[in-house]
Amino acid sequence: MKTHGNGIIIALLALIKFTIQMVGNRNYGFHRDELLHLSVSEHLDWGFMEFPPLIGGLGKLSYLFFDYSLIGTRLFSTLAGVAILIICCLMTKEFKGGKFAILLAGVAVLSFLPFYLKHTLFQPVAFDQLFWTLGFYYILRFINTEQRKYLLLTGLVLGLGLLNKYTMLIWAFGVFIGMLFFNKASVFKNKWWYLSGLLALLLVLPNIIWQVENDFPLWRHLQELSESQLNEMGPFDFGIEQLSFPFTLILSVFGVFLLFLSQPFRSLGIAAVLIFMTMWVLQAKPYYVFAVYPILFAAGAVQVEKLLHQKRTVLKYVVVLLLLMGAIPFIPDLTPILPIEAFVDYAKIEPNDKGRFELTGDYADMFGWEEQVKLVDSLYHSLPELEQKNCALWAENYGEAGALKILGKKYGLPNPISRHGSFWTWGPGNVNATTWISLGNEPTAVKHIFEETQLIKTIYHPYSIDEENGIPVYLCRKPKQDINAWWEAYEPYIFD
């Protein structure tokens, strides 16, 4: 009966999580990163310029099941988020937590605000968090049972995780060091520990080979990321960001205490702290470390349950309500459950002097793409039929290119070209095209390539991100450059 009751709690929390996410999944439009991930799914390979191959495979599955449906595409990230909640509750049971601890751990996942956006958008982040959580669960199961199958399952998760996002290496580093402190490092005498590592290596080997064959684009992308984003972070920004979610952070601190105070689980505490400090030293984006929180929620919930063991039941549920009430008012900020007009009123966002509403970057990145595609479509289909057959669509960045590639299908547009990231690797298309439609490229760029350029329109949108406002659309003719040479010469700048 007790197990049955636990199952009901987990199922109810999972249903709540699924419902909230699915309401948000249907609103606004595709994010620029989602358009890129769907675009690479049409060019499946063992790696891409910006990330490992798994997201491309998931994008292909999304297309096969749901076409390019917004809610269907985002379902995969939502299911990853629901799985994280369920696994968090299962880890609580492994820590010998009772019904209250399971409830508290699940509510902590529901109340952890960053998860809402990450479990909405079709990005590798949601799956990275899932692989970290699942990996911790299997290590925890091994600690409790010492059954070798959990080592092999850990190797499987590590391999798949590396095919999704390379930050899984930091998880592996933390766990490797942490397990030195479990049972006098006995696991390092277990051949299944090494077979687990071999399994992970075999899974990720095709991607390693791809990196070698393509001159390690990973390093170039990391360098660009460091120069454009990570170097802008102060030394304390990583830690300060964790303080933005005080209630769940407090529960996590309780979790660290339980892990360090319990001899069997001390290795997990060491792993979690080491991962956190490694991320901080590397000046990683703060959200990278959020994947470590579910195991801390599970352990923290058990510790709180122990502390409140002899307290009145009402006090226990006050703790649960505090977690929930601290999060509920902010959920619309993290997943688009409100229509945009209602959200603007809710967030009290006033238009600026240009009539634009300054949304957060991720929300703003979900607007404007459809309007861009519609304008290009009307221009393309206004051309004579012969010109349409010899027309190239040239987009400046991967968001614009992804919009033309994915959203443009319903308009019958040809595949676009772009020199940005993975799009560059797919080439310049028809190098003999006589007519080009340029989307987002600056006047100096188009005039450098073409003798005839005509500005058709400058696109503005009240909700889109600043860099996608005031973007020009040109009709261009008579190329004056060798297109192949022009394309190849840009290779050092594809991440700019």
Q: Is the pLDDT of residue 152 over 90?
A: yes
In a domain, residue 348? The reply is no
The encoded tokens of residue 59 equal: 């994008």
Range of the domain at 313: 2-334
Same domain as 325, residue 428 = no
Same domain as 163, residue 244 = yes
Domain boundary among 334, 354, 385: 334
Same domain as 125, residue 23 = yes
Same domain as 56, residue 205 = yes
Same domain as 39, residue 172 = yes
pLDDT in tens, 180-234: 999 999 999 999 999 999 999 999 999 999 999 998 988 877 777 666 555 566 6
pLDDT in tens, 46-93: 999 999 999 999 999 999 999 999 999 999 999 999 999 999 999 999
Q: How distant is the alpha carbon of residue 393 from its chain centre?
A: 28
Q: Output the pLDDT for position 282.
A: 86
In a domain, residue 351? The reply is no
Q: What is the largest CA-CA distance in the chain?
A: 82
Domain boundary among 308, 334, 360: 334
pLDDT in tens, 222-276: 777 666 555 566 677 888 888 888 889 999 999 999 999 988 999 999 999 999 9
Q: Output the pLDDT for position 196.
A: 97
pLDDT in tens, 417-474: 999 999 999 999 999 999 999 999 999 999 999 999 999 999 999 999 999 999 999 9
Q: Output the pLDDT for position 81.
A: 98
Q: Is the pLDDT of residue 1 over 50?
A: no
Q: Output the pLDDT for position 465.
A: 93
CA dist., res. 449 & res. 456, Å (int): 17
In a domain, residue 76? The reply is yes
Residue type, 293: Y
Same domain as 487, residue 387 = yes
CA dist., res. 386 & res. 392, Å (int): 13
In a domain, residue 400? The reply is yes
The encoded tokens of residue 386 equal: 């012969």
CB atoms closer than 10 angstroms to residue 350: 8
Structurally, how many domains does the chain consist of? 2
Same domain as 21, residue 143 = yes
Same domain as 236, residue 288 = yes
For residue 51, CA distances in Å to 42, 123, 124 come to 15, 10, 9
Average pLDDT over the chain reads 93
Q: Where are the alpha helices (DSSP H) in 146-292?
A: 149-162, 168-178, 191-213, 217-228, 237-242, 246-261, 266-281
In a domain, residue 408? The reply is yes
Q: Is the pLDDT of residue 317 over 50?
A: yes
Same domain as 282, residue 185 = yes
Q: Output the pLDDT for position 377.
A: 97
pLDDT in tens, 154-184: 999 999 999 999 999 999 999 999 999 999 9
CA dist., res. 15 & res. 449, Å (int): 55
Q: Output the pLDDT for position 5.
A: 79
**Predicted model pTM:** 0.94
Same domain as 380, residue 268 = no
For residue 209, CA distances in Å to 40, 157, 201, 310 come to 19, 20, 12, 58
Domain boundary among 310, 334, 358: 334
In a domain, residue 463? The reply is yes
Q: Which of 307, 290, 205 lies closest to 252 in space, CA to CA?
A: 290
Q: Output the pLDDT for position 225.
A: 67
Same domain as 424, residue 316 = no
CA dihedral 427, 428, 429, 431 (to 10 degrees): -140
Place of tokens 């991440």: 495
In a domain, residue 17? The reply is yes
Same domain as 307, residue 384 = no
Q: Output the pLDDT for position 391.
A: 96
Percent of the chain past pLDDT 90, that is, above it, reads 84
Spell out a b/e string for 294-312, using b for 16 or more CB atoms within 10 Å of the CB, else e: bbbbbbbbbbbbeebeeee
In a domain, residue 344? The reply is no
Q: Which of 440, 437, 436 lies closest to 472 in space, CA to CA?
A: 440
| DSSP β-bridge partners for residue 479 | 450
